[in-house]
Amino acid sequence: MPGERTTSVHGREEPRAGPLVTPIHQTSTFVLASAQEVDDVYEGRRQGDVYTRYSNPSTTSVESRLAALEGTQDAVVSGSGMAAIATGVLAFVGAGGRIVSTSDLYGGTINLFRTLESRFGIRIDHVSPTDVDALRAALRTKADLVYLETPTNPTLRLVDLAQSAQIARAAGAVTLVDSTFASPVNSRPHALGIDLVMHSATKYLGGHSDISAGAVCGSREHVARVRGLHKLMGAVLDPHAAFLLERGLRTLPLRVKAANDNAQAVAEHLARHPAVKRVHYPGLPSHPQHALAKRQMPGGYGGLLSFDLASFDDAKRFLDGLRVVRNAASLGGVESLCSLPLQQSHRNQPKEVLDRAGIVPGTVRLALGIEDAADLVADVDQALKGL
């Protein structure tokens, strides 16, 4: 198999004459040559596009490249990460079904699960992301889906993917992991036995803070189920956004490795700073799951970290004191961003949710970009002096 840089540039394409870069097929519908061709395309006797909600050459191209990067048979892209989560979950869980989920989740996922519980009677049981025995116990009762997130948002706890996949498969449950923070450069969950890998492609995959997109990768059989619901719900990715996403994938390994290096440098500096109570980053030997991170994330530990200051007021003062790092939600772009979970990703979440995730009032989330590490360390240092 080619290396990840080669794969990110070329995907699974064979050499061919024509445009070097996939054109933007900015069209909502496609002209077919005959009535027979309509039947042939719809019934699968030949490849073809009919309507962009179903497929479009721009989205098909980026799906193929993403599947190659994740090491899966297929992928489907959507208009946002939340669309990918919703279609990925609902493709396998119906009304009255059951999900076993890790307790530390992105705030949008928490809100989605609450809606599924209240409107559709879907039972959702939570287990600690670090406790595979709790997962095993939870799956003694039948479940349709095991939903995982690793590293978790924002305190960077890890789920043991290989063990979780083995336990879920023995119980007859499909596994879906949100691997947004890791990216395919740092971790390949499908190779560890996970059925479906989800990304908010808005983040590292796009990489330039200029699109909203999502993706679900897996076997042809599993992705076909997600794609079928995706078509019905209409959560499609615009062809121009698909073009930008594919552009981002071409440089993914280079950007992620730069972000990994920057996060490691900033995390090590924060760990030595007297104003910082605790640093959450799996690349530090002090992280309780550092050994698992070394096994499960061979490409690197990610460009995101969080740390705890003494109070919410200190966290706000730190945020306001930054000059290079920008005050914004999201992550995975070339720019470094800072946000406070209590203001952004976990705003208005109840105390028990915050406690489960290890979020305290002084928690700060840093998403490191590709700037010079020395400039980022200096910016963080001067902002801390303002406390």
203 carries an active-site annotation: yes
Which of 250, 266, 285 delimits the end of a domain? Answer: 250
Domain that residue 376 falls in: 253-385
Same domain, 141 and 195: yes
Which of 220, 250, 280 delimits the end of a domain? Answer: 250
Inter-axis angle of helices 107-120 and 81-90, to 10 degrees?
Answer: 40
Same domain, 220 and 329: no
Taking the C-alpha atoms of residue 344 and residue 130, their distance in angstroms, rounded to an integer, is: 25
The CATH number of whichever domain residue 124 belongs to comes to: 3.40.640.10
Same domain, 42 and 117: yes
Instruction: Please report the pLDDT score of residue 16 as a whole number.
Output: 74
Taking the C-alpha atoms of residue 154 and residue 167, their distance in angstroms, rounded to an integer, is: 26
Active-site residue, selected from the candidate residues 178, 308, 314, 379: 178
Span 46-105, pLDDT tens digits: 999 999 999 999 999 999 999 999 999 999 999 999 999 999 999 999 999 999 999 999
Taking the C-alpha atoms of residue 340 and residue 77, their distance in angstroms, rounded to an integer, is: 29
Task: Check pLDDT > 80 for residue 182.
Answer: yes
188 carries an active-site annotation: no
Average pLDDT value for residue range 203-219: 98
For the chain, percent of residues with pLDDT exceeding 90: 88
Same domain, 123 and 70: yes
Name residue, tokens 């997130």.
149
Same domain, 200 and 241: yes
Instruction: Please report the pLDDT score of residue 9 as a whole number.
Output: 85
Same domain, 221 and 291: no
365 carries an active-site annotation: no
Inter-axis angle of helices 373-385 and 312-321, to 10 degrees?
Answer: 130
Per-position b or e across 323-358, b if 16+ CB within 10 A of its CB: ebbeeeebbbbebbbbbbbbebbbeebeeebbebbb
Active-site residue, selected from the candidate residues 203, 255, 356, 365: 203
294 carries an active-site annotation: no
Query: Which pair of tokens denotes residue 359?
Result: 């979020």
Total domains in the chain come to 2
Same domain, 193 and 309: no
Span 246-302, pLDDT tens digits: 999 999 999 999 999 999 999 999 999 999 999 999 999 999 999 999 999 999 999
The CATH number of whichever domain residue 372 belongs to comes to: 3.90.1150.10
Same domain, 11 and 139: yes
Instruction: Please report the pLDDT score of residue 285 as a whole number.
Output: 97
Span 329-370, pLDDT tens digits: 999 999 999 999 999 878 878 888 888 888 999 999 999 999
Active-site residue, selected from the candidate residues 5, 40, 49, 53: 53
Which of 250, 282, 305 delimits the end of a domain? Answer: 250
Average pLDDT, the chain: 95
Taking the C-alpha atoms of residue 173 and residue 92, their distance in angstroms, rounded to an integer, is: 9
Same domain, 52 and 147: yes
Q: Pick the range with the lowest mean pLDDT from 3-7, 75-79, 175-179, 210-214.
A: 3-7
Instruction: Please report the pLDDT score of residue 345 as a whole number.
Output: 78
Task: Check pLDDT > 90 for residue 40.
Answer: yes
Same domain, 214 and 298: no
Same domain, 245 and 263: no
Whole-model pTM above 0.85? yes
Same domain, 142 and 203: yes
Instruction: Please report the pLDDT score of residue 224 as a whole number.
Output: 97
Q: Where are the beta strands (DSSP E) in the chain?
A: 74-78, 98-102, 123-127, 145-149, 174-178, 196-199, 214-218, 278-280, 304-308, 326-327, 337-339, 363-367
Active-site residue, selected from the candidate residues 65, 106, 314, 379: 106
